[in-house]
Chain A
Amino acid sequence: MSLQVAGLSKRYGPLLAVDDVTFTVEDGGALGLVGESGSGKTTTARIIAGLERADAGTVMVDGADRAGPARGRGQRLNRARQIQMVFQDPYLSLDPRLTTTEALGEIVALHEPGSRHSRRHRVAELLDQVGLGQREAAALPRQLSGGQRQRVAIARTLAARPRLLILDEAVAALDVSIQAQILNLLIDLRRQTGIGYLFVSHDLAVVRYVTEQVAVMHSGRIVEQGATHEVLARPQHAYTRLLLASVPRRGWDPAAVSRARRDLHDTTSDKETV
């Protein structure tokens, strides 16, 4: 399934949150959508997932438009099987009163009713896919660690057998040692199922591990787009270079980075006043 986004725009009052955004995620591909807070990356993702309506532009899945509201249960289920979304904080997106098994069973029943036996089998398969054991299956969200909760959230999205996952800062709230587990899980899932990813993140280093393509957003616009390793190795846009320089590493000088940031701001504001 390929996703084509063209000319997407969204305005909130005086703020043009998303400004003429165009990109494609190939069937089974992985695109990183990178930017800082307020860059429009999350709004773009939410429009694609159908959680927000764009003012202009199209969202096409395999050539069919997805921008309008879904009509009827059949179409809603169909759309759910195309695209699913994983959020940053699984604690906010899981029902606190449902165990992992119940939370998964609910969605399995929605998408693959079948017999009770087949549903139970499917739940076991999902738990296995995301690496959750017996204890976690019987646990409530508050009894799970952050990483385990995010595994439950991912399993819930996989229940619909979607062709594309939108991951909105899906590993940002996790501790480093757990973040690597979830990133590796995402890499494995893609290898096994051929699912595609739209990976929304502020973190260029993380994007490097899960995507082949990347689009960098700044003030609602995509300022640079290309193969992830190319963009990271030879960033063309000044903003991408600033983002890269801002990541702490050996020999890093925060004072030099802040000077570069001020220069960039000066040049952009000059342009705006001219």
Chain B
Amino acid sequence: MTALAINNLTVELPAVARRPLVADVTLQVGAGEVVGLVGESGSGKSVTARAALGLFPPSAQVTGSVRVAGTEVVGLTGQALRRLRAEQVAMVFQDPRASINPLRRVGDFLTEALRANRGWSKAKALTRAVELLTEVGIAQPGVAVRKYPHQFSGGMLQRVMIASALAVEPVLLLADEPTTALDVTTQAEILATLLSAQAERAMAMLFVTHDLELAATICDRIAVMYAGRIVEEQPAQRLFDAPQHPYTRGLLTATPKLPAGGDAASSDVAPLVPVAGRPLSLAENPAGCAFAPRCPIVVDDCAAATPVTRVRDGASVACHRADELIGRDA
């Protein structure tokens, strides 16, 4: 069964935003699969990920379907919603310090869910917490459970966060920019921890990030979002080798890169090619393709209608010129 199946999800916030936060998003994550959801700020990637927890902005109007292991999440309330969050979906957020109660010991934080939801004894839950801390690479886990969050560095606290997510034994793990607030050398360790836990459990993981290069190295498949819509979805390697949507292409040429082996010794650096213009704000809702004002290959049709998503050879692209683009200089 598909761990996460989102179908035609639209999230609107009429009081605040003129355009939908998320528009007609369809996305699947299978068991054991790592799917990247890539986009810039305001693209709707976090709203989409949180939908899997049944977590929508207050007073949002939601249409479409979000199924976790077959269970419909949209409209879920009360006991059923609590069970979803307690047993099936876990989330690792960007800033662990903002999501762990600073006044409670790390051990209490880790055992809380096990004791409340599974009715485990304190001793049994604590044994499990120590096991989990060992798995995520915390030295002296027996001592660590007695410490407070401020006694950990950001990277170590993110490991605690991962351990708490794993305690649920979730079907689906949502990771929302889990390494963005960390130093670059710490990032590698957190990702290694996350990926080995994911592989061992054959867990489904939705990895939300603004960093296309990072997503390409750790994900099986990547969906790129722009202004609330998925504009392109492909297997990670192919997305990198043959990006189809002009926005994805733009993102790749705009990303600063370290020199590859060949041009390492040269002091000449090929200039970056930025994406012109600026992202669509929530107050704007132009007709047609949201990317049209920034698009280098825009034609008259683009402003007329929202492009439909076309699928070919495992690549799906929402672009009026997709037929011309797919297969070109692949």
Contact = CB atoms under 8 A, between A and B. Distances in A.
A250 B279 contact: no
Interface stretch (A43-51, A160-168, A178-186): A178-186
A180 B273 CA distance: 7
B212 A176 contact: yes
A232 B274 contact: no
Contacts of A208: 256, 258-259, 269
A249 B254 contact: no
Between A175, A209, A227, A255, the greatest number of chain B beta carbons within 10 A of the residue's beta carbon is seen for A175
Query: Which bucket holds chain A's interface residue count?
Result: 35 or more
Contacts of B276: 181
Interface in A229-247: 229, 232-234, 242-247
Given A177-B250, A252-B217, A205 B257 contact: yes
A145 B216 CA distance: 27
Contacts of A175: 40-41, 210, 279
Q: Is the interface of A mostly helix, strand, loop or mixed?
A: helix
A65 interface: no
Contacts of A187: 271
A254 interface: yes
A203 interface: yes
A201 to B, nearest CB: 10
B16 to A, nearest CB: 14
A206 interface: yes
Contacts of B258: 204-205, 208, 232, 244, 247, 249
B195 A184 contact: no
A242 B185 contact: yes
| Central interface residue in B41, B251, B256, B294, by most chain A CB within 10 Å | B256
A258 interface: yes
Contacts of B218: 248, 254
B184 interface: yes
B267 interface: yes
A202 interface: yes
B267 A209 contact: no
B254 A176 contact: yes
B281 A145 contact: yes
B192 A255 contact: yes
A212 interface: yes
B275 interface: yes
B177 interface: no
B183 A203 contact: no
A180 to B, nearest CB: 3
B191 interface: yes
Interface string A139-172: 0000001111000000000000000000000000
A192 to B, nearest CB: 15
A233 B196 contact: no
A181 B274 contact: yes
A36 B183 CA distance: 6
Interface string A60-88: 00000000000000000000000000000
A177 B251 contact: yes
A233 B80 CA distance: 56
B274 A177 contact: yes
Contacts of A179: 254, 256, 274
Contacts of B134: none
Contacts of B185: 36, 242-243, 246, 257, 261
B300 to A, nearest CB: 24
Contacts of B253: 180
A209 B184 contact: no
Nearest to B268: A229
Contacts of B275: 177-178, 180-181
Given A145-B279, A209-B256, A252-B217, A247 B274 contact: no
A118 interface: no
Q: Which among A176, A184, A209, A247 has the greatest number of chain B C-beta atoms within 10 A? A: A176
A37 interface: yes
Contacts of B240: 250
A209 B267 CA distance: 10
A190 to B, nearest CB: 13
B274 A243 contact: no
A248 B211 contact: yes
Interface of A: 36-37, 145-148, 175-181, 183-184, 187, 202-206, 208-209, 212, 227-229, 232-234, 242-252, 254-255, 257-258, 261
Interface of B: 40-41, 183-185, 187-189, 191-192, 195-196, 210-214, 216-218, 240, 250-251, 253-259, 264-267, 269, 271-276, 278-279, 281, 294
Pairs of residues from A and B, 10 with the lowest C-beta to C-beta distance, nearest first: A180-B274, A177-B275, A257-B188, A233-B264, A175-B40, A180-B254, A258-B189, A205-B256, A36-B183, A254-B191
Given A176-B40, A249-B213, 15 more contacts: A179-B274, A180-B254, A181-B275, A184-B274, A209-B256, A209-B269, A229-B259, A233-B264, A242-B185, A243-B184, A248-B187, A248-B213, A254-B188, A261-B188, A261-B189
